């Protein structure tokens, strides 16, 4: 059986989610498109943030989309990898900071 | 140095084969709409010229570079060149018709032995703008070309040059090893004679086209990045940046197929279709002439052999009325000019 949970072609059908709930779907896409417009942050900076977050949330669709978006915006591969490391650092930091909770609990329970 | 598709005897050097590929696959099965069907969907039945203000002359396919994306399949092994007789026929058209801009392209147009004579003659016809599409490296390719910046300045030529990126790696990967460094030196020579300077009328525009199977982004944002990087790193100036989409023909089509990106790229072009850009595609104001004097609606159609739909499609036989009423020749490659903000030899459209 070659059925997969993730299908690359699903990405281009993303907008189809409005078919089952137009109001909320439209609100989401309006919001989404507004977020990525040039603002206090440039669209280029937002693309790099999105690329890092895509990795952190393990979204293959987002990784495909924002790698391509980064290329289109002239972002270089070194910048892309640095952004991924920023995401990875926060993610691993988030794991490790819980170590303090572990240490506290350990000390509380130990003689 | 790599060879042209023609020299490699690639099946993609055959125009019919390219048109067959562009009409097949997802367009044949109906998975993707053909360009004409897409226009119909947006209530555009046919495309016709609006004006005839730009005469783009491809004076030969010879080039000192063999770029991996080249839609002309140009290179040192291409010998096709416009004769002086055909050049004179082009000059007659410039005198008879109200043409604002003559746009010289190739190959490297500067390699044509009659290039300088031709530019001088065009200047005498009174057209207001002469564009030369220079690949920059030609200026340093041979001692005899070192004086080109001065020649361009003397005749107020508008220079439009390809520079795919403001960093070496991406530029060289598309255009060949060493091209970036040579291009920077050539831009410095152009800056020195006044090109791209704030107090000068000499215009130097750069062309960005993506180094891979993706579309160009916002022209304004990329221009900002290019200007900042080139000024900071090399202290060089230019006027505008034009973003141009790579059209799926010739060597870029070869790259798309070989890298298994063809289907996704065509899907991207179709998804990015912009009806506003379609209304103003460059073939609505431009006529392209081949080295043989044959006329086409654009340089891309020239490479696909899609001649303009007039009775005698030759520069010596132009008829203004027939020309303005003709139906523009379309195929799926036209999606490249209507994607996103649109694409033309003068950059984005919409």
Q: What is the pLDDT of residues B220-261, one digit of tens each?
A: 999 999 999 999 999 999 999 999 999 999 999 999 999 999
Q: Of B149, B5, B142, whose CA–CA distance to B73 is shortest?
A: B5
Q: Do A44 and B221 touch (CB under 8 A)?
A: yes
- Contact list in B for residue A74 (CB cut-off 8 A) is 165-166, 208, 217, 222, 225
**Using CA atoms, how far apart are residues B144 and A55, in angstroms rounded to an integer?**
53
Chunk chain B into consecutive blocks of 10 residues (it has 350) and report each block's average pLDDT, rounded to whole numbers.
90 96 96 96 92 96 93 96 98 95 97 98 96 97 97 98 89 86 96 95 95 91 94 97 95 96 95 91 95 97 97 95 95 95 78
Which phi and psi angles does B158 have, rounded to 5°?
Answer: -85, 115
Residue A91: its H or E element? helix A77-109
Look at residue A6 and tell me if it is in a domain.
Answer: no
The CATH number of residue A34's host domain is 1.20.1290.10
Residue B107 preceded by cis peptide, ω within 30: yes
The structural domains of chain B, ordered by start, are 49-246+282-320 (3.20.20.70)
Q: Is B26 exposed, middle or buried (0-12, 13-18, 19+ CB in 10 A)?
A: middle
The answer, for B215 touching chain A at a CB cutoff of 8 Å, is yes
Instruction: Give start and end residues of each alpha helix (H) in B193-249.
Output: 219-234
**Percentage of the residues of chain A whose pLDDT score is greater than 70:** 98
pLDDT for position A1 = 54
Q: Taking CA atoms, what residue in A is nearest to B165?
A: A74
Owner of token pair 């058209």 = B93
pLDDT for position A8 = 87
Look at residue A26 and tell me if it is in a domain.
Answer: yes
Chunk chain A into consecutive blocks of 10 residues (it has 111) and report each block's average pLDDT, rounded to whole numbers.
81 94 97 95 96 97 96 94 98 97 95 89
Cα distances (Å, whole numbers) of residue B272 to A12, B276, B307: 12, 12, 27
The answer, for B267 touching chain A at a CB cutoff of 8 Å, is yes
pLDDT for position B296 = 98
Q: Do A73 and B271 touch (CB under 8 A)?
A: no
In angstroms, the separation between the Cα of residue A68 and the nearest Cα of chain B is: 7
How many other C-beta atoms can be found within 10 angstroms of the C-beta atom of residue B124? 10
Q: Which residues sit opposite B56 in a β-bridge?
A: B103, B288
pLDDT for position A2 = 64
In degrees to the nearest 10, what's the CA dihedral of B63, B68, B70, B71?
A: 140
- Domain residue limits at A99: 16-109
Q: Taking CA atoms, what residue in A is nearest to B164?
A: A74
Q: Taking CA atoms, what residue in A is nearest to B219?
A: A73
What lies within 8 Å, CB to CB, of A93 at 6+ separation is none
DSSP codes joined into one string, B323-334: HHHPPPP--GGG
In angstroms, the separation between the Cα of residue B83 and the nearest Cα of chain A is: 40
Look at residue A8 and tell me if it is in a domain.
Answer: no
pLDDT for position B171 = 85
The answer, for B273 touching chain A at a CB cutoff of 8 Å, is no
State the total domains in chain A. 1
């Amino acid at each position: 059986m070659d059925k997969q949970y993730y299908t690359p072609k699903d990405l281009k059908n993303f907008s189809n989610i409005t078919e089952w709930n137009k109001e909320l779907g439209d609100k989401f896409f309006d919001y989404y498109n507004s977020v990525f417009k040039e603002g206090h942050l440039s669209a280029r900076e937002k693309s790099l943030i999105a690329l890092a977050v895509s990795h952190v949330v393990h979204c293959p669709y987002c990784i495909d989309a924002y790698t391509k978006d980064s290329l289109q915006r002239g972002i270089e591969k070194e910048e892309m990898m640095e952004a991924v490391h920023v995401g990875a650092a926060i993610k691993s930091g988030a794991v490790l900071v819980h170590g303090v909770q572990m240490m506290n609990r350990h000390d509380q329970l130990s003689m | 140095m790599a060879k042209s598709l023609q020299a490699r005897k690639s099946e993609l050097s055959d125009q019919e084969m390219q048109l067959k590929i562009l009409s097949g696959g997802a367009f044949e099965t109906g998975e993707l709409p053909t360009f004409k069907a897409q226009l119909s969907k947006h209530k555009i039945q046919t495309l016709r010229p609006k004006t005839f203000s730009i005469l783009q002359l491809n004076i030969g396919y010879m080039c000192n570079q063999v770029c991996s994306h080249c839609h002309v399949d140009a290179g040192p092994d291409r010998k096709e060149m416009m004769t002086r007789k055909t050049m004179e026929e082009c000059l007659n058209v410039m005198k008879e018709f109200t043409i604002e801009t003559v746009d010289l392209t190739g190959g490297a147009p500067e390699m044509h032995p009659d290039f300088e004579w031709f530019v001088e003659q065009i200047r005498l016809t009174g057209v207001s703008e002469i564009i030369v599409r220079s690949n920059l490296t030609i200026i340093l390719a041979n001692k005899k070309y070192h004086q080109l910046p001065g020649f361009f300045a003397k005749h107020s030529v508008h220079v439009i040059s390809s520079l795919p990126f403001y960093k070496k790696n991406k530029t060289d990967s598309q255009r060949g090893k060493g091209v970036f460094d040579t291009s920077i030196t050539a831009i410095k020579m152009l800056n020195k004679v006044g090109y791209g300077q704030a107090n000068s009328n000499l215009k130097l525009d750069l062309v960005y086209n993506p180094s891979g199977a993706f579309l160009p982004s916002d022209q304004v944002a990329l221009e900002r990045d290019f200007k900042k990087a080139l000024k900071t790193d090399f202290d060089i100036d230019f006027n505008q940046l034009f973003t141009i989409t790579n059209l799926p023909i010739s060597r870029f089509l070869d790259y798309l197929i070989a890298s298994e990106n063809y289907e996704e790229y065509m899907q991207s072009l179709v998804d990015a279709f912009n009806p506003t850009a379609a209304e103003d595609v460059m073939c609505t104001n431009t006529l392209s002439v081949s080295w043989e004097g044959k006329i086409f609606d654009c340089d891309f159609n020239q490479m696909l052999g899609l001649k303009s739909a007039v009775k005698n499609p030759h520069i010596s036989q132009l008829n203004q009325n027939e020309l303005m009423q003709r139906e523009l020749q379309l195929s799926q490659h036209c999606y490249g000019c209507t994607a996103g903000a649109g694409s033309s030899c003068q950059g984005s459209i919409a």
